[in-house]
Structure 1
Amino acid sequence: MIIFKKVVALHQFITSLKQQNKTIGFVPTMGALHQGHLSLIDACKKACDVTVCSIFVNPTQFNDPKDFEKYPITLEQDMLLLTQHEMDILFLPSVNEIYPAGVHTLPHYNLGALENILEGKYRPGHFQGVCQVVDRLLNIVQPDKLFLGRKDYQQCMVINKLIELKQLPIALSIQPTLREEDGLAMSSRNMRLTAAGRKKAVVLYRTLLFIKENAFKKGIPVLIEEAKAKLLASGFEKIDYITVADANTLQEIKALGASANAVVLAAAFLDGVRLIDNLSLSA
């Protein structure tokens, strides 16, 4: 595994690989790596000649400074995992490398309604920060393919919008959510749960399954209220949202037709940790 910390050095190396007609795949991360990240790397390695992984905890996408401060940093363990996984290139930039002119004059992206609903509503400015860092990383790495996990469903849609806005020649590959044996979606945030909270956390997934199993039997508004009650009764402290939405626009759906392309999404707090998940709905 080759480690780069400087933009110029990585960019030069990538350029030399492209001159050899090598295809470049990219997996951006904020570290605290788990099997979900490794599944993205596996998919990337199968599809591309060279796989690049970045680890960078981006300050501009945290609307809550306390959340940024609490984000788990496990760099030593991450590097060991990547070495064992035969990673080709690891990019470990500093904030100054990513934002050499500082963070106060960064571009604004026209994301439309995507920016102000669900995650955007409860985390104002979050998706601008996501676009700022991903735009910069894509400019540095210049990948042919970008690999993201479906757990961050809305973020995948935002990054797809970014690629369209910038007219980048990059293929976006969205991989299935990887789950623990009990169904909990793998997430770096799971590390912050207490032992008791970890046992309760699976209720989020089970609640989404409950909606999926009954979405064509009961009214959606009734199901949503029942789902909220289940979460609160199991120990979740606060629910930002549980909603059924159009899978392509994320606009809320009140009733499902036989041909509906829909997704159920949720964000809720447990042990003060904000967990998100989603499931596809189909007839």
Structure 2
Amino acid sequence: MTIFKKIKDLQEFLQLQNGKIVGFVPTMGALHNGHRSLIEKAKANAEIVVCSIFVNPTQFNDKADFEKYPVTTDADIALLMDSGCDVLFLPEVAEMYPDGLEKGSIYDFGYLETVLEGAMRPGHFKGVGQIVSRLLNIVQPNKLFMGQKDYQQCMIVRDLLRQMGKADTIELVICPTRREADGLAMSSRNRRLSEPQRVLSGILYQCLVSIQSKKSTDSFALVQKECTDLLKAKGIEPEYVALADAGDLKILDNYDGNDSMVALIAAKVGNVRLIDNLILE
């Protein structure tokens, strides 16, 4: 695996690849087996796999959250090498934001950035659009691999590709969420959980499964209340338990038998904020 820290060096390398299909996996590091699955998917569908590790300051609306974000570069490099990644792009903040954090293209995602994660984390998706657009312009991939765990972010990036005029040249590949044995979605934040908190966290997935299993028997409002009450009873602070159209994230008041739906959940376990989702069968 070749490691680049400078945009110029990475681009010169990619220009020498003679038109090979480039698969790109953008990350913020603290890699786990969910990231490994993205690399493996990219390996199976591209000829050159590029992974980036960059903890992007502009997408953190909470400075403390940014400062607590785990940095495990040596372990990340080992995982990428073991996964067969070809290229790691590992830039510093000054490389990605040479003119300062406030400069650069700002995208308007409309409704998508006003609900759920957008409502809970104002400005978050502006930062996502800012950094992902820069990375895409640098790497110029043919395929972009992202995990379904960040479902709303995937919808944001899909719209970003449209706004950048790259929807026809970059294929967005959304990969299934990788889970622990108890269903907890793999996440870099999980390592901040204490052991008792980690045991409790599996309840988030149980709630999503309950939302799916009861779609033919109960109203969503009833299931939503059951899940919220259960989380609170376990000492978990729910932020939202929601049902939405899987295509455009329009919030639904009740189950809709005609459209594909996604259940989404966000909650704080102690001071660790976790999100998850499940596309309803």
Give TM class, smaller chain. over 0.9
User: Residue 78 of structure 1 aligns to a residue in which SS?
Assistant: helix
Matched residues in 1 for 2:82 and 2:151: separation? Answer: 29
- What's the % identity of the aligned pairs? 49
**Which residue of 1 is the match for residue 123 of structure 2?**
125
Matched residues in 2 for 1:253 and 1:37: separation? Answer: 31
Matched residues in 1 for 2:252 and 2:273: separation? Answer: 24
Please give the per-residue CA displacement for 1:30-74, whole angstroms capped at 9, x wherever unaligned: 000000000000000000000000100000000000000000111
Q: Please report how far the alpha carbon of residue 150 of structure 1 lies from its aligned counterpart in structure 2 after TM superposition.
A: 0.1
**Which residue of 1 is the match for residue 44 of structure 2?**
46
Structure 2 matches for 1:142-153, cutoff 5 A? 142-153=140-151
**Which residue of 1 is the match for residue 72 of structure 2?**
74
Structure 2 matches for 1:158-237, cutoff 5 A? 158-168=156-166, 169-236=169-236
Please tell me whether residue 278 in structure 1 is matched to residue 264 in structure 2: no
Q: Please report how far the alpha carbon of residue 98 of structure 1 lies from its aligned counterpart in structure 2 after TM superposition.
A: 0.7
Q: Does structure 1 conserve the Cα–Cα contact (< 8 Å) formed by 2:108 and 2:126?
A: no
Q: Which amino acid aligns with 1:95?
A: V
Structure 1 unaligned blocks of 5 or more: none
User: Residue 41 of structure 1 aligns to a residue in which SS?
Assistant: helix
User: Residue 90 of structure 1 aligns to a residue in which SS?
Assistant: strand
Q: How many residues are aligned here?
A: 279
Matched residues in 2 for 1:14 and 1:153: separation? Answer: 29
Q: Which amino acid aligns with 2:243?
A: V
Please tell me whether residue 31 in structure 1 is matched to residue 29 in structure 2: yes
Q: 2:153 aligns with which of 150, 155, 175?
A: 155
Q: Does structure 2 conserve the Cα–Cα contact (< 8 Å) formed by 1:25 and 1:44?
A: yes
**Which residue of 2 is the match for residue 22 of structure 1?**
20
Q: Please report how far the alpha carbon of residue 258 of structure 1 lies from its aligned counterpart in structure 2 after TM superposition.
A: 2.5
Matched residues in 2 for 1:75 and 1:88: separation? Answer: 16
**Which residue of 2 is the match for residue 264 of structure 1?**
263
Matched residues in 2 for 1:252 and 1:171: separation? Answer: 26
Q: Please report how far the alpha carbon of residue 274 of structure 1 lies from its aligned counterpart in structure 2 after TM superposition.
A: 0.4
**Which residue of 2 is the match for residue 249 of structure 1?**
248
Structure 2 unaligned blocks of 5 or more: none
* Structure 1 runs, 4 residues or longer, greater than 3 Å off: none
Task: Normalising by structure 1, report the TM-score.
Answer: 0.97
Q: Does structure 2 conserve the Cα–Cα contact (< 8 Å) formed by 1:194 and 1:271?
A: no
What is the root-mean-square deviation in Å for CA atoms of aligned residues? 0.9
Please tell me whether residue 139 in structure 1 is matched to residue 137 in structure 2: yes
Matched residues in 2 for 1:215 and 1:230: separation? Answer: 18
Matched residues in 1 for 2:250 and 2:257: separation? Answer: 18
Q: Does structure 1 conserve the Cα–Cα contact (< 8 Å) formed by 2:97 and 2:103?
A: no
Q: Please report how far the alpha carbon of residue 14 of structure 1 lies from its aligned counterpart in structure 2 after TM superposition.
A: 0.9
Matched residues in 1 for 2:133 and 2:103: separation? Answer: 14
